[in-house]
Structure 1
Amino acid sequence: MHIDRFARALFEQAGGGLLYVLGGDTLPAYQREGDVEIVRYLREAEHVLERAAGYGARLATLLDRLPDLELVHFRDPWGGAPIVERPKRRYTAVYEVNGLPSIELPFLYPSIPPVLLESVHALEQRCLEGADVVITPSDVTAARLAERGIAAQVIRNGADLPQPAPPPDGPSNYLLYFGALQPWQGVDTALRAFARLQDLDDLDLVICASVHQRRAKAYRKFAEKLQIADRVHWHFALPEHELARWREHALLSLAPLKDCSRNVVQGCAPLKILESMASGTPVVASDLPAVRELLTDGEHGRLVAPDRPGELARAIRVLLDFPDRRASMGESARAHVAQHLSWERSVGQLRDLYTAHGLQADWIAA
């Protein structure tokens, strides 16, 4: 959603452009939609860093074919290096920092050598210092970049206010977790908390994972161990219109982010929180600095200590006992998104940035 909104803003302002992204099994290597060309890097590799290096090398060859670029917007250091280090470049380079691989990679690959992380950190720094503009969706991330000598402009993630939708086919009283299943998301905390609510016979937990079901194997086994598997309902890679129905009709939406360097040191801007609020669904989330940027405890939902399933369960139980309070929180959350956290607002800030840097070219890349 984030890439789609920002890329569309970019190409609408420029009257076209080139989108270069990683591709999947079912997507073509090349596609054209009106004035926008889409190039996907499809080559697999044994290790993620090997694929990242190939991704950057392919981008370098694409840049050779685009001599009239005026602005390039990138989101990772692998693609950023050939952009900012290109000799005698005349285009503006905008680095959108949503994450720092030097912080995230140890969570995905715990055995990664420190010397390799130092190399990744150095690559990030070259991109940060070589970019003309650095933007990020979180104040926490901006503060971290400031410690590295980089001034970043904060343009927050956003959400749309959805139209009312009929309830989905499934349980009528349920808690919702949706999104990815990386270790820092705290899905295990949500399962542990739900296990403490087993006395609520009519309550279920729905998990709408954005990834393939094989990624959920460990969590499904954990639910069996907790003896809650029959009340945990899994859905995978749902289209947005189906996911929207689950969001709108949930009693509460859960965002039990872990207290770890990925969330606290690096920062984050979870779309699951914003999209739940936009749907009028109160959020029970971990009390972390990046989360406090998006919602106010007691007004749009509840914030609880991270990594403590007992506290998460207690907050859920209290809110379930007070439906009027839940409804009031949901209304306040939706109004807060409409006023302060809409995609329209975020895209407007991005357009202003492009205008400030004189974007008038016919072709740009992201």
Structure 2
Amino acid sequence: MRGARALYAAFDRFPSRKGSAVHIDRFARALFERSGGGLLYVLGGEGLPSYQREGDVEIVRYMREADHVLERAAGYGARLSALLDELPDLEIAHFRDPWSGLPIVEHDGDHLKVYEVNGLPSIELPFLYPAIPNALLEQIAEMELRCLHAADLVITPSQVTADRLPVPAHVVPNGAELRPRSERPALDRPYLLYFGALQPWQGVDTALRAVARLELDLVICASVHQRRAKPYRKLAEKLGIEARVHWHFALPEEELAPWRDHALLSLAPLRDCSRNAVQGCAPLKILESMAAGVPVVASDLPAVRELLTDGVHGRLVAPDRPGELARAIRVLLDYPEERERMGAAARAHVQAHLTWDASVARLQRLYGERMPAWPTA
């Protein structure tokens, strides 16, 4: 560890089935390929070792749980500070959040500091913890600002996010892979698909209310533990559609792919809230569906318009309106040739503009501009 030249730090469990883990895997690999290895510092969890080595990459996981996420974040940051003292040869530190960033920007050393802004806790935490005090959110916002102003390079996957930040930021989009079509899953009737996490801003309740207006099944492949689905299962029961909603949890990619590849449509009913409309986002569920040739019906938000064009790659509808979502779905169900055209256009768009290879190449060019002594990508 003492010889590591590169550090990638993220206050996220890794690996996991969340989109953040897919992103971490791609960008951390890009960093370590360029630096000849390094240290990945992430959160641990059940079934994951606190330390492992994969070739020239060491993975250290913060394992301690806590009653509140901020208590865990403080412990995670303290451990990172101690790790930094063991990295005298560090040349670059890439971090995804202020919990990782503050120890890095406060640590003595002339290493390059790269802040990858995928989300801002000062905006997201109130959705997860409505009772969080405003004074605490102000402290977190101050931490974010300190990291932003101290960073040598700021990147983000969304232009909406870049426009909101008080410092210049480079947009490095999320990506997707184009894969061969999988075998059909074990469901003998057509279905809609939602896959991803179940946070309040995802709009899963809107999807359920829309399906209640349709004679069609909905498959939900949640990237989290089934306990997170309890309120949505209760809502499905209240709407009288529980028999038409099929749940799957934390599926590995090879099990998720068939559900994604054979869906009639993929849904991304994001809420119109500060987390999506002000902070910005770049949902992998949209990109991965497009790469599979499946049209997406999504909320008409600025960040979503960065990824797809209404009427070309799918349909955009007013957010938080189940009736409009249901109408858009119904129209596309009535025109299968239109769905096929949109799916093909979506896949071609990802292939031309939104692959992981293209995003990684852009990231490595940005590294090279600031560290010209490093090997050329």
User: Under a length normalisation based on structure 1, what TM-score does the superposition of the two structures give?
Assistant: 0.95
> Is residue 95 from structure 1 mapped to residue 115 from structure 2 by the alignment?
yes
CA contact (8 A) 1:196 1:313 kept: yes
CA contact (8 A) 1:70 1:361 kept: no
> Is residue 63 from structure 1 mapped to residue 111 from structure 2 by the alignment?
no
Equivalent position of 2:48 in the other structure: 27
1:226 alignment partner, one of 239, 247, 250: 239
Equivalent position of 1:15 in the other structure: 36
Return the offset for 1:170. Answer: 1.8
5+ residue gaps, structure 2: 1-21
Equivalent position of 1:192 in the other structure: 209
2:131 alignment partner, one of 111, 116, 122: 111
CA contact (8 A) 1:157 1:343 kept: yes
Return the offset for 1:90. Answer: 1.3
5+ residue gaps, structure 1: none
Return the offset for 1:242. Answer: 1.0
CA contact (8 A) 1:14 1:360 kept: no
For 1:195 and 1:359, how far apart are their aligned partners in 2? 57
For 1:332 and 1:63, how far apart are their aligned partners in 2? 47
Question: What letter corresponds to residue 90 of structure 1 in structure 2?
Answer: D
- When the two chains are superposed, the root-mean-square deviation of aligned CA atoms in Å is 1.0
2:300 alignment partner, one of 287, 308, 319: 287
CA contact (8 A) 1:70 1:90 kept: yes
SS at match of 1:99: coil
> Is residue 265 from structure 1 mapped to residue 286 from structure 2 by the alignment?
no
> Is residue 72 from structure 1 mapped to residue 93 from structure 2 by the alignment?
yes
Per-residue deviation, residues 293-316 of structure 1 (Å, max 9, x unmatched): 000000000000000000000000
CA contact (8 A) 1:276 1:282 kept: yes
CA contact (8 A) 2:368 2:374 kept: no
2:252 alignment partner, one of 225, 239, 247: 239
Return the offset for 1:171. Answer: 3.8
Question: What letter corresponds to residue 202 of structure 2 in structure 1?
Answer: Q
Return the offset for 1:264. Answer: 0.4
For 1:33 and 1:7, how far apart are their aligned partners in 2? 13
Percent identity over the alignment is: 74
User: Under a length normalisation based on structure 2, what TM-score does the superposition of the two structures give?
Assistant: 0.93
Change (3 A) 1:359 1:247: farther
For 1:29 and 1:237, how far apart are their aligned partners in 2? 21
For 2:369 and 2:83, how far apart are their aligned partners in 1? 26
Return the offset for 1:265. Answer: 0.6
For 1:152 and 1:361, how far apart are their aligned partners in 2? 22
For 1:277 and 1:191, how far apart are their aligned partners in 2? 22
Equivalent position of 2:4 in the other structure: none
Equivalent position of 1:214 in the other structure: 227
Change (3 A) 1:261 1:171: farther
> Is residue 126 from structure 1 mapped to residue 139 from structure 2 by the alignment?
no
Return the offset for 1:357. Answer: 1.8
For 2:97 and 2:89, how far apart are their aligned partners in 1? 22
> Is residue 157 from structure 1 mapped to residue 174 from structure 2 by the alignment?
yes
For 1:275 and 1:182, how far apart are their aligned partners in 2? 19
Return the offset for 1:163. Answer: 1.1
Question: What letter corresponds to residue 190 of structure 1 in structure 2?
Answer: A
For 2:280 and 2:205, how far apart are their aligned partners in 1? 20
For 1:190 and 1:359, how far apart are their aligned partners in 2? 48
